[in-house]
Each structure stands twice: as structure tokens, then as C-alpha cells.
Amino acid sequence: MHDSATVHGETHNPALLHHFATEEQQRDSANFGMWIFLATEVMFFGGLFCAYLIYRGWYYNDFATASRSIDAALGGTNTAVLICSSLTVVLAIWAAQTSRRGLMLAMLVLTMLFGATFLGIKGIEYHDKFVEHHVPGSSFDFHDPIPDHPGEFVNPQHAQIFFALYFVMTGLHALHMVVGLGIFTWLLWAAWKGRFTPEYHTPLEIGGLYWHFVDIVWIYLFPLLYLIDRHK
Amino acid sequence: MSMATSTGQPVERENYLNKHYGVGSWLLTTDHKRIALLYLISITFFFFIGGFFALLIRLELLTPASDLVQADTYNKLFTMHGQVMVFFFLIPSIPAVLGNFLVPMMIGAKDLAFPRINLLSWYLYIIGGLMMLHCMLTGGVDTGWTFYTPFSTAFSNTKVIEAGLAIFVAGFSSILTGLNFIVTIHRMRAPGMTWTRLPLFIWAHYATSIIQVLGTPVVAITLVLVVAERALHLGIFDPKLGGDPLLFQHLFWFYSHPAVYIMILPSMGVVTEIIACFSRKRIFGYSFVALSSIAIAVFGFLVWAHHMFVAGISVYAALVFSILSYAVAVPSAVKVFNWTATLYKGSVHYDAPMLYAFGFLGLFTIGGLTGLFLACLGVDMHVHDTYFVIAHFHYIMVGGALMGYLGGMHFWWPKISGKLYPEGWARLAALIVFIGFNLTFFPQFLLGYLGMPRRYADYSHMPEFQILNVFSTAGSTVLGVGYLLPMIYFLWSMRYGKPAPDNPWNAAGLEWKTQSPPTTFNFEEEPVVTWEAYNYEEIDAPHPQEVPVAR
Amino acid sequence: MSGHSTSEHSKSPLATYFAVWIALLCGTALTYYAAKLNLGVFNSAVALTIATTKALLVALFFMHLKGASEKLLKVVVVSTIFFLILLLALSMADYGTRHLS
């Protein structure tokens, strides 16, 4: 006989899945599961950070020169945009916890707007790189002088490695943003449908965890990619 | 009702197999037991494919000349043998089949924490598998299962991208299984099932899951980089473009070394259960075995560059990794000692599962000790990339992991299928596997030591190696027969086998308190555990008795 | 096991959220302007320190790691970082000593 009836005297929330004994167990499991998934994502990006670390050590001047050619102001703006989106996420969850439906929906929409803004700015950056022929491949062309090294020019192959890492790292990050937007579209729909209550808003919590993680990755990407040797 | 002992009931009770019928009820199931069977069928299919490639390799090596296949084809054969066997058979095998089936039952749960993610894991495996199949049927890959750059990224004319993506997808199957197990083991244990009362099979799977979760993403991103480099000529791994081929190897082996522990740890868990049951004794040194599993998982991440001793890493790094590789052998040795001590003064029964466990003990020990040979820099200089290495890892993967898998399949078959397999045939098969295995792989130690390189189709400049290769191929035929027999009699038993009692072995463990086969939700009522693991002193072997369960 | 939903906090978490948000924005500005100063070898260290502080703020306060009733989640985070550092450090054991070899 499945425990589809009352559990421990509480009335049974339809969101409680049959294999869990209590809602708390279900929520804790979902939370824990998402944290472990984020651990896998740390290792996933970690491989790229490892490659970056090694080549930055090997080709510092070439990397620094290449880094100067990407727009730090846009990168910084994007960092601020994501930070604001993380705030709107926690506010959305707080709104769910305190039964503020309007605020919850507004914060979810704002989060998605910030996310879309991020992607828009990223699009501008990629476009600039494409136009300047800084995209690795057959049309790659980068011959900037190395700052503070008069007469020396960057090694284009080493610069290409920088840009390869730039595109793979920010591209993978942007892909995660897109997935995040998809998740929040669903969360918005579910919130609109009234699925979230102060007692049950686990999908918001774990969707939020994912979003914050994507923010944290960018917090590291920004200084590492955009700010190498900017004082020259 | 399901808790009562029975010596087999003529009327079929409702269980997870007969509860729902129809393809849809299987393909859309979230029952961990059905998903385990879906995996069983899928991995067996890939085992045949990997085995087929092995057969062709061994047939080619019967003669020194490259006369059965050309070198390019031979390169594809050993590559695809490795990829299929590692990624589509060994890594899923025990966790996806026995783990999925047993982990919830052993801890007293109704299912895993995330049943739908469990099903997703299987679908990801199938998608990856289909991609791999397509890749193999439309040309294959010839880079070696290790995908070393720059050959794989810049020179190979084969379907590297497709194979890389197939393994990428299958990797996520592995990650999600690991994630599911970790959350399940933490959150879904029945009341009274404390960490120190868990079967060591669970500890082994917990350790395995840690590796799956932390290691697999690194090989995933590495494969992404290989695919990107091959498609876009990026230069990350290409020395001509400023890249470092060793970076690929570092990133690849960071996962692929711990991966071998993904393959062996579950098998160790199985062997622990079998040895306790068939010695009628609790495991000697429970906490040592449990902590050794965790130690193997952690230490396993520290040793990867021992695959790169001759690749061009700095000698100082090689020294560090060599020392660490010696250290990683210690927890495995601890386990071997504990198993042996468990056998001592036990009441040993030689049923088929135990024969496999004994085989494991001997063969894993040989495999493990030869690993230490390889950890020694001076020796590795000479035997790296020879058949010594091949023999070493086949002793562990086949003599260890696969024996454990077969032993586990026999041990839990009555629970899984509700039928008894024919014991006589099973013991014969175990013997044939053991003999066939040693005949196949022991000569390879000698071949490697004498200098025969691996991955060579043509060894006609060393014709003296032929006799050992012939032994090896003969052994592989015997081994093949040994593998076919269980497939035949397991299938036979599903139709004609004697109905199994709930606990045919009088084993300890919550899974044996369920029906054979279990109902969909495993337990009628949530069990409350008040006894320690492996309480064999309370369970008599010859006369099955009901073990009290607090209700 | 007591629940850890943040709605049971005695004071509203809003103040914390906004404070963290301001701190994160300041940290971003700080990173940007510090990069323009010549700090020699410390430029990277400063940038990474600020980034790590920001990441910790997000993890502890936005991801509610600080209020978590069990240590388990913190163990997950620490172990993951440990293994990532392992990858980086042991790779550097090779790359950092090749020129000596």
C-alpha cells in the first residue's frame, strides 16, 4: 500500500512524491541533489580553468595583449548585470516564502530580463571579435604589439589559444545562461499557475542555486579573461 | 505477507516484473528495478560488441604478420574494443545493474531519490550508445581509446568527433547515476540504518559515486575541447600551433585513472557481500573496508600522471606521481587482507558466487601487484606500452571487475528474477572463465616483459612471440565459452528454473527480506533496522529461519 | 531534524540580501579599478581574492549555505574545491618543474 494518504498526520501535499516519507526529506534531497550537480559543473568548468592557467603561465605577454583587446567595460557591465539578477532570484524566493505572488512574478521576469541583457551584451562582444578577425580559425588575424615591449609583437598562435579559451569558456558559460533562461521560463510559468506556496517552492530554490552558480562562474571569468595586465 | 519465509510458492505473486505489461511500462518506468534490467540488456549488448572486437584482435594476433586485417583496421579494432568495453560496459555495469537494483533495497527505501533522473540516465546511455554504434558502423575511430592528441585532433581520418560526442553523452549517464546514489544513500536510509550498519556494497557504491560525480565532468570537457579543436583547428593541444599535447593527457587521465576505480570499487562491494555470506561470518574489519573504499576514491584522484611517465612530463612530477601510485595500492591491499581474514575460520561454501569471489581474490591481487610494477619508474620505462600493461589492466578489469559482476549476477539472480539458476552449470562456467582468463592473459605478462608492444597488428619482426599469442587466443576462446554459458542458463532459468525462495542463501541484508522477485515498492512497510550488518551469527545456514524485523 | 527554511528567521533576510548585493557591486568595481593599478605580481592575487570573496558571498548568503542546518552541503562545496585544486596543483607539479628536468 503506497503512502498516498496522510503521512504522519499532515495533510498530504500533492507535490510529495510517493517514494519520499516526508516533504522535508523530498526538499532536502532536491537541494542536496542540485548542490552535487553544481559540484559536477565546477569540475566541468574546472578543466577549462586548468587549461587557461597553464597557457597563461606559458604565454603571459601574448595573453595579456589579447586580453586588452576585449572590452573590459562591457565585461564589467555584464558582471554587474548578473549580480543584479542573483539579487532578483533571492527576492523571488523570499516573495514565494512570504506569499507575495506579484513580487515573485516580477522578480522572476526581472531575472530573465537581466539574463537576456547579459546574453545581448555577450552577443555584441562576440560580434566585435568576429568583425576584428579575432575568432580562431582560418580567418584569425591578430598582430597587436605587446604593451611595454617596444618593437615586439604578439605571437599570433599563442593569441589564438587565448581566444580559443575565451570563446570556449564564455561560450560554455553563455550556453549555461541559455539553459538557465529556459529553466526560469518554466519557473515563471509554474509560478503563474500558482504552483508555489510558502510550504512548497523547491523548484524555485534549486533553480536559484543553478542561477547563482552561473553567476559565480562569471565572477571568476571576468577578471581572468578581461583584466590581465590592464595597467599597462 | 512478503516478509514470510517461503520455499517457493506455486502461484506467481505480484512483483515488479508482472505488475505492468507492455513496452511502454518498461520504457517509461521509474522503478529502479526495471531500469536495472533495461541496463542489463543494454550493457550485455555492448559487451557482445566489445567482445567481438576482442575476438578479431586475438584472431589477427594468431600470426605475426598483419594478414587478417590491415594496420588501419587493426587500429580501429583495439580502439573500439577499448571504448565500448570501458564506457559502455564496465563503467555502467555493476552500478547501473546491481547498484540500481539493490541500493534502495539494501537501505530500506522504496526507490532511488530521483527515479525520473534514473530513467534519464538510461536514455542518455542509450543515446550515447546509438551514437557510438553509428560511429562504428560508418567508419569507426582509430586513435586508441585514449584519444591522444594531436593525432586525434589533427591527423586521424576517422570519426573522432562522433565517438567523442557519444562518450560525452554516456558520461552524463554516469554522472547522474552517481548523483542519484549519493543523495539516496544520504537521505533515504530506513530508520535505524545508520552509516555503520550499511552493507559494504553501499559504501563501495558511495565511493564510486563520488568518483563519477567529480571525475567524469573533466573528461567531458576534455572531449568537448578535442571536438572543438578538431572542428575549428584551435591549437590547444597541437604543438605546431603552440599547444601542449600533454595537457590533453593530463585532463584525460585526471578522469580516466579514477575511472578504473569506478570499475573496480563496485566489484569489491559485491565480493564483500558474497564472501560474508558464503563464509557465514561478518566481514573482518568493517570500518577498515568502508574507509578503504573512500580512501581508494580519494587517492585515486592523485595518481593520474603515472600513465604519462614516458610522455614527457617533468621527472620531478613523475617522482611525485610514482610515490602516490604506491600509496593508492594500500587501501586495496587492506581490503584483500580483510576478505582473507573473513574467510579464516569461516564456514566456507563453494556455491557459484563464491567461486567467482575466489577468482576475484586471486586475479585482482595479481592485477594489483603488477600495478605496483608499473608504478615503479624504472620498470615502467621498459614495459610501458607493452603487453605487460594490457595484462595488468585486464587482470583487474576482467579478472577483478567482471568476475565480481558475474558473481553478483549469480548471487542476486534469484532476487532479480525469482528463479534459481542451475548451480552445476554455474560452477562449471565459473571454472571455465577462470581457466580461460588465465590462459588468455597470463601469457600477455610474459609477452610484455619480453618486449612485445601493444597496438601492433604486425609483430613479424619478433616471430618468437607467436607461441604465447596463440595460447592467449586459445584462452580467449575458452573465456568466451565461459561467458556464453551464464547468458544461456540465466535465460533458460527465467522459463524453466525452479522458483526461488525469498532468501535462498540465507544471507544478511535488507534486500533478502523482500519477495523474490520484489514488489514494485520493495517493502510492505518501511523496515526499522535494529541489527548490525552481516549478523550471520544470528542466521543459520542450513535451516532458513525468519530473521526478526521490528514492525 | 529541524527545517531550515529561511522564512523562519527571526529577522527579515532582506537587509542581508541588499547588503550582499551592494558588496558584490563594489567588489566588481574594485576589481576593475585595481586592474588598472600596477601592483606587479599581486595584480592576479588581488583579482582572485576579490573574486573569491564575491563567490563566497553569493554561496553563503544567496545560496543559503550559511544557514544550512547540516554541514553536509559545506562538505560538498569544500570537497569539490579540494578536488579542483588538486587538478590544478598536480598539473602544475608537471608544468612548474619541466624547465628543471
Question: To probe the interface with B, which of C1, C71, C88, C94 has the most B CB atoms within 10 Å?
Answer: C94
User: pLDDT tier at A18 (50, 70, 90 boundaries)?
Assistant: confident
Which of B316, B321, B325 to probe the C interface (max C CBs under 10 A)?
B316
Neighbours of C23 (CB within 10 A): 15
A22 CB-contact burial (10 Å; exposed 0-12 / middle 13-18 / buried 19+): middle
B194 class by beta-carbon count within 10 Å (0-12 exposed, 13-18 middle, 19+ buried): exposed
> Å from A66 to nearest chain B CA?
15
Q: Does A51 touch chain C (CB under 8 A)?
A: no
For residue B242, give how far its alpha carbon lies from the nearest alpha carbon of chain C (Å): 15
Conformational region of residue B545, where left means phi above 0, alpha means psi within -120 to 50, and beta covers everything else: beta
pLDDT at B462 over 60: yes
Nearest alpha carbon to residue B355 among B424, B456, B298: B424
What pLDDT digit, counting tens, does each position of B481-508 carry?
Answer: 999 999 999 999 999 999 999 999 999 9
The reply to whether residue A51 touches residue B247, judged by beta carbons under 8 angstroms, is: yes
- Determine whether the interchain pair C77/A47 forms a contact, defined as Cβ–Cβ distance below 8 Å: no
Q: What is the 3-state secondary structure (H, E, C) of B53-110?
A: HHHHHHHHCCCCCCCCCCHHHHHHHHHHHHHHHHHHHHCCHHHHHHHHHHHHHHHCCC
In tens, the pLDDT along A82-121 reads 999 999 999 999 999 999 999 999 999 999 999 999 999 9
* Ramachandran angles phi, psi of B419, nearest 5°: -125, 155
pLDDT for residue A147: 86
CB contact under 8 A, B222 and A40: no
Out of C13, C35, C72, closest to residue A227 by CB:
C35
**pLDDT above 60 (res A2):** no
B243: pLDDT strictly greater than 90: yes
* CATH number for the domain running over A41-226: 1.20.120.80
Cβ within 8 Å, pair B316-C80: no
Q: Mean pLDDT across the stretch A123-146?
A: 92
Say whether the ipTM exceeds 0.90: yes
**C52, burial (CB in 10 Å: exposed 0-12, middle 13-18, buried 19+):** middle
Range with top average pLDDT, A16-20, B8-12, B294-298: B294-298
> How many other C-beta atoms can be found within 10 angstroms of the C-beta atom of residue B53?
21
Rounded distance between C-alpha atoms, residue B530 and residue B549, angstroms: 8
Contact A223 C81 (CB under 8 A): no
A79 in C contact zone (CB under 8 Å): yes
| CA dist., res. A108 & res. A114, Å (int) | 10
User: Residues of B with CB below 8 A from A155's CB?
Assistant: 242
Check: CB of residue B266 under 8 Å from CB of residue B205: yes
Tell me what pLDDT residue B299 has: 96
Chain A residues inside the 8 Å CB shell of B244:
54, 58
Q: What is the mean pLDDT of residues B225-237?
A: 93
In angstroms, rounded to a whole number, what is the distance separating the alpha carbons of residues A193 and B18? 38
pLDDT reported for residue C43 = 87
Closest to B218 (Cβ–Cβ): which among C72, C87, C101?
A: C87
The grid coordinates of residue B32 equal 529502479
Chain C neighbours, 3+ Cβ pairs < 8 A: A, B
Q: Give me the mean pLDDT over the B66-77 stretch.
A: 95
For C1, the 3-state DSSP assignment is: coil
CA distance C35 to A229: 7
The confidence score (pLDDT) of residue C11 equals 65
Residues of B in contact with C94 (CB under 8 A): 246, 250, 305, 313-314, 317
CA distance B542 to B539: 9
| Nearest CA distance, C51 vs chain B (angstrom) | 23
pLDDT tens digits, B258-317? 999 999 999 999 999 999 999 999 999 999 999 999 999 999 999 999 999 999 999 999
At residue B545 the predicted structure's pLDDT band, cuts being 50, 70 and 90, is: very low
On the CB side of A69, CA atoms within 13 Å amount to 27
C-alpha cell at B184: 539516496
Say if residue C2's pLDDT is above 60. Answer: no
C-alpha A231/C-alpha C33 separation (Å) is 9
Q: What are phi and psi of A229, to 5 degrees?
A: 60, 50
Please, are residues A45 and B135 in contact by the beta-carbon 8 Å criterion?
A: no
Return the minimum-mean-pLDDT range out of B404-408, C18-22, C40-44: C40-44
Q: Mean pLDDT, to the nearest integer, of B163-191?
A: 97
Q: Write the DSSP assignment of B371-426 as a string of letters.
A: HHHHHSHHHHHHHTTBHHHHHHHHIIIIIIIIHHHHHHHHHHHHHHHSB---HHHH
User: Across the interface, which of B110, B229, B242 has its CB nearest the CB of A19?
Assistant: B110
**DSSP codes joined into one string, A76-125:** HHHHHHHHHHHHHHHHHHHHHHTT-HHHHHHHHHHHHHHHHHHHHHHHHH
Q: Please, where are the H alpha helices in B400-529?
A: 403-417, 423-450, 466-496
Mean pLDDT (whole number) for B456-474: 96
Q: Is C91 on the interface with B (CB under 8 A)?
A: yes
Instruction: Provide the mean pLDDT of chain B.
Output: 94
Q: What percentage of chain A reaches a pLDDT higher than 70?
A: 94
pLDDT at B548: 47
Class of B29-538 in CATH: mainly alpha
Query: What number of CA atoms fall less than 13 Å from residue B115's CA on the CB side?
Result: 21
| DSSP symbol at B254 | H
Listed as own residue / partner, the contacts of C32-40 with beta carbons closer than 8 Å and 24 or more positions apart are C32/A72, C32/A76, C32/A227, C35/A72, C35/A223, C35/A227, C35/A230, C35/A231, C36/A230, C36/A231, C37/A231, C38/A231, C38/A232, C39/A231
Question: pLDDT, tens digit, for every residue of B447-460?
Answer: 999 999 999 999 99
| Model confidence band, residue B6 (pLDDT cutoffs 50, 70, 90) | low
- Domain spans in chain A, listed from the N-terminal domain onward: 41-226
Cα B23 to chain centroid distance, Å, stands at: 28
Does position A232 have pLDDT exceeding 90, yes or no?
Answer: no
B277, three cell numbers: 555470506
Q: What is the pLDDT of residues A148-199, one digit of tens each?
A: 888 889 999 999 999 999 999 999 999 999 999 999 999 999 999 999 999 9
- The pLDDT score that the predictor gives to residue B10 is 56
Residues from chain A contacting residue B224 (CB–CB below 8 Å): 168, 172
Identify from C86, C87, C88, C99 which residue to disrupt to test chain B contact, counting B C-beta atoms within 10 A and taking the largest count. Answer: C87
- Whole-number pLDDT of residue C7: 45
Domain chopping of chain C, boundaries: 12-67, 68-101
- Distance between alpha carbon B114 and the CA centroid of its chain, in Å? 23
- Count of A–B CB contacts within 8 Å? 112
Question: Is A65's pLDDT higher than 90?
Answer: yes
Asked if the C-beta of B175 comes within 8 angstroms of chain A's C-beta atoms, the answer is yes
How far apart, in whole angstroms, are the C-alpha atoms of residue C36 and residue A226?
12
pLDDT, averaged across chain A = 92
- Cβ contact B228:B238 at 8 Å: no
Give tens-digit pLDDT for C46-92. Answer: 999 999 999 999 999 999 998 777 789 999 999 999 999 999 999 99
Residue C6 has pLDDT above 90, yes or no: no
Residue C19 Cα distances to A87, A147, C5, C11, C13, angstroms: 10, 39, 20, 14, 10
Within the 173-232 window of chain A, which residues sit less than 8 Å (CB to CB) from chain C? 198, 208-209, 212-213, 215-216, 219-220, 222-224, 227, 229-232
Q: How many CA atoms lie within 13 A of A80 on its CB side?
A: 15
Å between C101 CA and nearest CA of chain B: 5
* Grid coordinates given for B265: 570499487
